[in-house]
Amino acid sequence: MRYLLIGIAFLLCAVGWLVTHNGPTSYVEVEFMAPEGAAPLAAVTLISGGDKTWVTDIAPGETKSVRIYPGEFADNAVVAWVQRYPDGNAPKEGWSGKQLYPAETAFLTHLVINNAGQVVDEKSCKLPCSFD
């Protein structure tokens, strides 16, 4: 009986993952441009379509990348909420990107965030692509 319950739980988790991660895999890179010695960026929450993910503890000059799954019928626009300091009560900077690609298009978006926690630059391209 216990193995049956474990099997059912595993099956439900697998189905849930497949349902929530449908459509193409896209990527968002977050670059933190701040002077050396500045406090790290606490967190950046990224939303595209029905998916939400985040990157944390980004040091000045560092770039972190994360996968995002907008979904089959999403508009592929990226929304970012930047939390500059780890205090949960600190204000968050909001930013909304443009819808650059039709649904079911895999993309790479590169965001540059300044020391004030504002998105100051965005680049985007259809995958496969690179900004190198």
SS3 category, 8: helix
Sequence-ordered strand ranges (E) for the chain: 26-32, 41-48, 51-58, 63-68, 79-83, 92-96, 107-113, 119-126
24-126 belongs to which CATH class?
A: mainly beta
> Contact at 8 Å (CB) between 20 and 51?
yes
pLDDT confidence of residue 10? 66
Q: For the chain, what are the domain ranges?
A: 24-126
pLDDT of residue 21: 54
Q: State which residues of the chain have pLDDT below 50.
A: none
Total-model pTM: 0.79
Tokens representing 122 are 């965005």
Residue type (1 letter), 37: G
> Which of 112, 96, 43, 64 has the alpha carbon at shortest distance from 123?
112
Given this model, what pLDDT does residue 75 score?
Answer: 78
Supply the pLDDT for residue 71. 80
Q: Which two tokens stand for residue 101?
A: 């690609």
